[in-house]
Amino acid sequence: MKIIIAGAGKVGRTVAAILSEEGHDVTIIDRDPELIGAVSNELDVICVEGSATNPETLKEAGAGEADLLLAATQLDEVNMVCGISARHLGTAHVIARIRDTEYLSQTEFLREALGLSVVVNPEYECAKEIARVLRFPSAVRVDTFSKGSLEIVEHRVAEGGKLDGMPLNMLQQSFGAKVLVSVVERDDEAVIPNGDFVLQGGDRLSITGEAREMRRFFIATGQYKKPVRKVMILGGGRIAVYLTRLLQEVGMTVTVVERSREICEQLCDLIPEASIVCGDGTRNDVLLEDGISSVDAFVALTGEDGDNIITSMYARNCGVGKIVAKVNREHFSEILEDSGLDSIVTPKSIVAQQLARYVRAMSNSMDSSMETLYRLADGMVEALEFRVGEDSACVGVPLKELKLRPNVLICALIRGRESIIPDGGTVIRPGDHAILVSAAGRLEKLDDIVEGGR
Q: Is the Cβ–Cβ distance between 298 and 234 less than 8 Å?
A: yes
Mean per-residue pLDDT of the chain: 88
369-428 tens-digit pLDDT: 677 778 888 778 988 888 898 888 899 999 999 988 889 999 999 998 888 999 889 999
Q: Is the Cβ–Cβ distance between 285 and 238 less than 8 Å?
A: no
- For 408, residues 6+ apart whose C-beta sits below 8 A from its C-beta are 192, 436, 437, 438, 439, 440, 449
Task: Please report which confidence band the pLDDT of residue 5 belongs to, taking 50, 70 and 90 as the band edges.
Answer: very high
Q: Is the Cβ–Cβ distance between 395 and 388 less than 8 Å?
A: yes
Task: Please report which confidence band the pLDDT of residue 145 belongs to, taking 50, 70 and 90 as the band edges.
Answer: confident
**140 has pLDDT over 90:** no
pTM of the predicted structure, to 2 decimals: 0.83
Q: Which pLDDT score, from 0 to 100, does residue 368 have?
A: 52
Q: Which pLDDT score, from 0 to 100, does residue 367 have?
A: 43
The helix/strand/coil state of 201 is: coil
Q: Which pLDDT score, from 0 to 100, does residue 223 have?
A: 87
**338 has pLDDT over 80:** no
Q: What is the dihedral of CA 271, 274, 277, 281, to 10 degrees?
A: -90
Highest-scoring range by mean pLDDT, 8-12, 59-63, 155-159: 59-63
Across 416-445, average pLDDT: 88
CATH placement of domain 230-344 = 3.40.50.720
CATH of 127-220, one of 1.10.3720.10, 3.40.50.1860, 3.30.1160.10, 3.30.70.1450: 3.30.70.1450
**66 has pLDDT over 70:** yes
Q: Is the Cβ–Cβ distance between 309 and 327 less than 8 Å?
A: yes
Superfamily of domain 356-449: Regulator of K+ conductance, C-terminal domain (3.30.70.1450)
Q: Which pLDDT score, from 0 to 100, does residue 144 have?
A: 84
Residues of the chain with CATH 3.40.50.720: 2-120, 230-344
> Which residues are paired to 96 by β-bridges?
71, 119
Q: Which has the higher per-residue pLDDT, 372 or 135? A: 135
Task: Please report which confidence band the pLDDT of residue 366 belongs to, taking 50, 70 and 90 as the band edges.
Answer: very low
Residues of the chain with CATH 3.30.70.1450: 127-220, 356-449
The DSSP call for residue 387 is E
Q: Which architecture, in CATH terms, is 2-120?
A: 3-Layer(aba) Sandwich (3.40)
Q: Which has the higher per-residue pLDDT, 357 or 82? A: 82
Question: Residue 449 corresponds to which amino acid?
Answer: I
| CA gap 236, 219 in Å, rounded | 34
Least confident of 1-15, 129-143, 145-159, 200-214: 145-159
